[in-house]
Amino acid sequence: MTASAVSTAAPKERRSLWWLYVLLALPVLGITWFVVWRPITVLPRITLAPGYAFQDQDGALYTSENRRGRLTLYSFSYESCAAPCPQSLESLADLAAGLPEQLDLVTINLAPEMPAAAPGWAFLTGEEIFVKKVVGSGFDMYYRPEETGQIYFEPRFVLVDKLGLIRAYYLTNEPDLELIQRDVVFLLDEEQNSQGVGAIGYEAAHLFLCYPR
């Protein structure tokens, strides 16, 4: 091989290596940009919400399948819940009135008795053993009866999407309505835009944990 042939081949090899480096760098740069700038924000897919079959305040069968296709905010209370009980029916009524129209409030009763006056939203009850399983194991909330007749429980609200996935916990007596509205918008945007090619971006957002800050 002549010297001129060697000198011609060397630049070609360098160009090939340069393009190889560029191709390898592009995915890394793309991932870095996605993680840093977060063009898509999603709520985490925490786990599947528990299935159940309870009765509502009218005595009708009410199951977790009733919630498919609707966003749901679960709460937990009982009729005689009063101070220092964290979530009275009065406070839940105020909450229900202020929720965005795309979101329904569902309360699971922690005691066997039903309210004398039915609240204006789904208020569910069932056999104690099943309520304990759904609330304790399914929604990860601890509660216990007290000698005073009250029920101790760790206050929380649980946001469940239309597919039955838990997407947020609000560990508070009174959730921030603006925060809930923001999270509902995240879920509606994901539902609307995660079709076809858009699904790739949303799956990437979940993969790289692009959650609200």
User: In terms of CATH, what superfamily is 47-187?
Assistant: Glutaredoxin (3.40.30.10)
Q: What are phi and psi of 209, to 5 degrees?
A: 55, 50
Distance, in Å, from the CA atom of 155 to the CA atom of 169, rounded to the nearest integer, reads 10
The tokens for 107 are 């309360």
Is the model's pLDDT at 127 over the cut of 90?
Answer: yes
Is the model's pLDDT at 61 over the cut of 60?
Answer: yes
> What is the residue type of 122?
A
Is the model's pLDDT at 17 over the cut of 70?
Answer: no
pLDDT band at 26 (very low <50, low <70, confident <90, very high): very low
- In SS3 terms, 117-142 reads as CCCCCEEEECCHHHHHHHHHHHCCCC
Interval 137-160 mean pLDDT: 92
Residue corresponding to tokens 């840093």? 36
Q: pTM of this prediction?
A: 0.82
3-class DSSP state of 107: strand
Distance, in Å, from the CA atom of 166 to the CA atom of 149, rounded to the nearest integer, reads 31
Is the model's pLDDT at 44 over the cut of 50?
Answer: yes
Q: Calculate the average pLDDT of the chain.
A: 84
Looking at per-residue pLDDT, the higher value among 29 and 172 belongs to 172
Ranges of each domain in the chain:
1-40, 47-187
54, 124 in Cβ contact below 8 A? Answer: yes
82, 88 in Cβ contact below 8 A? Answer: yes
